[in-house]
Structure 1
């Protein structure tokens, strides 16, 4: 099967404790049931998680991110030459050219271009940013001067 359901990834990647944490992640209060329901009802598909263990992938953004699956992140993306856009959520998948995060406050998945990422913030367990950056209007995005 070309695609796998996100909650079946732990069986696809034997011995990956990080991947198993995706299923066991303590989802944000109030939305844990809807997240589990989304995953169990096969509504969101992902390709199998790559390990990024090859010599050429060591030290890359993909390798670093793949080792932190299940963590809450805020990623900053450079759009064009002067606009930084933030996306936040639980990191659920890392591909060679994209990442997928789950916005646990709005209950949706976001797939993002990995090559536009400039900064990634990792939060301590139970900590979250004060604002949901996924819902900012255009005039609230940060322009570079």
Structure 2
């Protein structure tokens, strides 16, 4: 006889921050192998305080989907992080596996909040940092 299968709920106050991180970009798991029976999915809340950013990083073999809940984000990528795309509330983004990038909150007054989903887990490989001045248009408060 098998165990009964039931949904697993993670309440907002129970989000798990023991997942991999990158600098000032804070990831909290909602559904993940860290604290649910999930084995092929990481789904969580990511936030950047005003003017904060991640260091350069990639997510190994994980495909990444993001959805901006609040704020103005920017993802720098490409040679020397010279290319970028801007994201606003309601936008979705796909980041391919192994793509080096920097996630930035472009506002110096408001928090950036997004939901992120990865398969199979929240892999984060941090890369050598770049100076703020190398990121076109980026500034801290």
**More contact order relative to length (CA 8 Å, sep ≥ 6):** 2
Normalising to structure 1: TM-score of the pair? 0.25
Normalising to structure 2: TM-score of the pair? 0.25
Q: Name the structure with the higher strand share.
A: 2
